[in-house]
Chains A and B, each alone.
Chain A
């Protein structure tokens, strides 16, 4: 089981309490699709992803960004058993969606950068450490049911 310090728990809860999921979700997913264009392979039916402006204005990308953040919220609410919380989602991503789990890390990096830009100086080195540890656990849990 993952050991969380008090600082880490407080930090994660605080970040997500203050976060506007409907802003951060779309921003993180669209950034990922722009910065790592090969991730677009999973969104063939999302319409126009032709350039950065199209991606950032695409309503299906925005909607899916919100879905992803709401999924992340489940880990925030179950920090002591993220592995079990995500077991079904992991199977879904492996067997139905067939997403290369490396992509989870790419999206996590983009999410870190979006959150850092929103929080500014409050995103201290220690806060970054806690946030990235949380995302590393999420990424690992999502990749667990790949066989």
Chain B
């Protein structure tokens, strides 16, 4: 399910609207994931506070969304562009790649809440495909 030229332009246009609120969206998506999918908390045992809106969740949500925002500019070569991040996730963090889908779903839910009129089905499919391609690139070095 590769990204077509249309997918890329839809994602870029939509991200123009998202980037102003990227930190908020990232923090909220991460908070939703940790709450609605409690098994994901196992990766964050070092944080004192895993509740939505806590400092570590806000900081880390911003980091993740920042990286995703960068990836919007790398859509023509996600595997190459995300190579270092893939190394990190594969060898250091060792996050089970099934969780990329879970976080992606929570990002979509958060986008739907913050951009109810802009997050049309056409935008939804393009962003879903983008996040799936990004997740595959992130998992590239796993084995």
Chain A residues in the interface with B (C-beta under 8 A) = 30-31, 34-35, 52, 55-56, 109, 112-114, 116-121, 123-126, 128-129, 132
Say yes or no: A35 contacts B125, CB within 8 Å.
Answer: yes
Instruction: Give 13 CB contacts A-B under 8 Å.
Output: A35-B121, A35-B124, A35-B125, A109-B105, A113-B109, A114-B112, A120-B116, A124-B52, A125-B31, A125-B32, A125-B34, A128-B32, A128-B109
Please report which residues of chain B, range 94-126, place their CB below 8 angstroms from some CB of chain A when the two chains form the complex: 105, 108-109, 112-113, 116, 119-122, 124-125
Main SS class of interface, A: helix
A-B pairs with the 6 shortest C-beta distances?
Answer: A125-B35, A34-B121, A129-B36, A117-B112, A117-B116, A35-B125
Minimal Cβ-Cβ distance residue in B for A120? B113
Pick from A31, A121, A123, A125: contact of B121, CB under 8 Å: A31
Pick from B36, B105, B116: contact of A125, CB under 8 Å: B36
Interface range for B: 10 to 19
Known A109-B105, A125-B31, A132-B36; 16 more pairs at CB < 8 Å:
A30-B121, A34-B121, A35-B121, A52-B122, A55-B121, A113-B112, A113-B124, A116-B109, A117-B112, A120-B113, A125-B32, A125-B34, A125-B52, A128-B35, A128-B36, A129-B35
Minimal Cβ-Cβ distance residue in A for B52? A125
Say yes or no: A31 contacts B124, CB within 8 Å.
Answer: yes
| A30 contact set on B, CB distance < 8 A | 121
Chain B residues in the interface with A (C-beta under 8 A) = 31-32, 34-36, 52, 105, 108-109, 112-113, 116, 119-122, 124-125, 128
| B52 contact set on A, CB distance < 8 A | 124-125
| A128 contact set on B, CB distance < 8 A | 32, 35-36, 109
Say yes or no: B122 contacts A34, CB within 8 Å.
Answer: yes
| B109 contact set on A, CB distance < 8 A | 112-113, 116, 123, 128
Q: When chains A and B are docked, how far (Å) is the Cα of A52 from the Cα of B124?
A: 11
The answer to whether A116 and B112 touch (CB under 8 A), given A34-B122, A56-B121, A125-B32, is yes
| B124 contact set on A, CB distance < 8 A | 31, 34-35, 113
Q: When chains A and B are docked, how far (Å) is the Cα of A111 from the Cα of B84?
A: 36
| A116 contact set on B, CB distance < 8 A | 109, 112-113
Minimal Cβ-Cβ distance residue in B for A33? B121
Say yes or no: B108 contacts A113, CB within 8 Å.
Answer: yes
Say yes or no: B121 contacts A117, CB within 8 Å.
Answer: no
The answer to whether A52 and B36 touch (CB under 8 A), given A112-B109, A113-B109, A120-B113, is no
The answer to whether A34 and B125 touch (CB under 8 A), given A116-B112, A125-B32, A128-B36, is yes
